[in-house]
Amino acid sequence: MIKKTKDKFSLVARIKSATHAWRGIGILVKTTHNFWFQIFFALLAVYLGFILCISTTEWLFIVLTIGIVFVTEALNTAFEIDIDLTSPEYHPYARDTKDVAAGAVLISVFVAILVGLIIFLPKIFML
């Protein structure tokens, strides 16, 4: 086994590697229709946050739940792309993998809805 020598830190290399991440986000936005709904509801939550003057702690919960939904959707999309590549024929395990990843997104969406209801409903009822 040949051991690879560790390259010196390079800011240019770090910037170039970030372009791959941005490309991935672009793929997510272009190919995942549910992501557009998630963006819409994230923007709605941010809008309501400003209108209803939520606290710093409430903002933290909103931002974290939005991030969790976005991350789980990105991972779900990555799993789907990988499964489609590695298992182009139908296989029950491939289906199970996709369904479990989609279930993770659904769980994160339920948590985000719950957090939104806890934060926004009392403020809306007080109007």
Binding residue positions: 73, 80, 89-91, 98-99
- Provide the residue type at 78 as one letter: A
The DSSP call for residue 23 is H
Dihedral over alpha carbons 53, 111, 106, 23 (to 10 degrees): 50
Output the known binding site for a divalent metal cation.
80
Q: Does residue 58 carry a catalytic annotation? A: no
With beta carbons less than 8 A apart as the criterion, state whether 98 and 83 touch. yes
- Provide the residue type at 123 as one letter: K
Helix (H, G, I), strand (E, B) or coil at 47: helix
With beta carbons less than 8 A apart as the criterion, state whether 115 and 61 touch. yes
Q: Catalytic: which of 68, 72, 73, 119?
A: 73
Give the span between the Cα atoms of 43 and 61, in whole angstroms.
14
* Enzyme catalytic residues: 73
